[in-house]
Chains A and B, each alone.
Chain A
């Protein structure tokens, strides 16, 4: 398996633009997590899904952020409108619902200028 696949790897956008980050979890995994990593706050869980259903989105910073999982093999994290403080590395991770290990993708480095 290729592991968790995220795209794009790098994204530079202007303030106010819409940004969409994409994630393909490991086949067969039924839990999916979106994390944000910054120097100041470390790794923060934004939202997670079990069997494509959002379970906990309490980490989503504000209404500008939204996440969807239309099927078991694809998820998106959207920021609209983007702001400079959204600049961070965004990670997607997946796991088996009954498992413990979360497998992380390589991340998307987002820069909002």
Chain B
């Protein structure tokens, strides 16, 4: 089955700096890569996703990049703010346009943004 590795497990940055979280996956058939943010006491929430036919996607201060050849993808957060502090999870799945799919998650990265 799919295996997703995520690094680093913890990341501390100063407010305004950038943060980068990296993931690798094992199944070359995976084609859907979402990122989830989990705040304390809450469930994970989707913040951005990318499909395998796209190399990069951006939404305001967050961006994701995907390298299918190397089987890795990254989350970039620019101009970090204290409210970005949370646990971030990457995931991978095979999504065949409405068919069954299941997400395999990385172990998570605890991001702390220091004011």
Seen from chain A, the residues whose Cβ lies within 8 Å of a Cβ on chain B are: 4, 33, 42-45, 48, 50, 55-56, 91, 93, 97-98, 100-107
Contact = CB atoms under 8 A, between A and B. Distances in A.
B95 interface: yes
B5 to A, nearest CB: 11
Given A33-B103, A48-B100, 10 more contacts: A42-B108, A43-B108, A44-B105, A45-B103, A48-B102, A50-B100, A55-B100, A100-B32, A104-B43, A104-B45
25 contacts: A33-B103, A42-B89, A42-B106, A42-B108, A43-B89, A43-B105, A45-B102, A45-B104, A48-B102, A55-B100, A56-B100, A56-B102, A91-B44, A93-B43, A100-B32, A100-B95, A101-B34, A102-B46, A104-B36, A104-B43, A104-B45, A105-B43, A106-B41, A106-B43, A107-B42
B34 A43 contact: no
Interface in B59-75: none
Contacts of B104: 45
A25 B15 CA distance: 37
Give the interface SS of chain B, mostly helix, strand, loop or mixed: loop
Interface residues of B, number: 22
A56 B98 CA distance: 16
Nearest to B42: A106
Give the interface SS of chain A, mostly helix, strand, loop or mixed: strand
A57 B32 CA distance: 21
Nearest to A109: B41
Contacts of A104: 36, 43-45
Contact of B107 (A42, A45, A106): A42
Given A42-B108, A45-B102, A48-B102, A91 B49 contact: no
Interface string B4-31: 0000000000000000000000000000
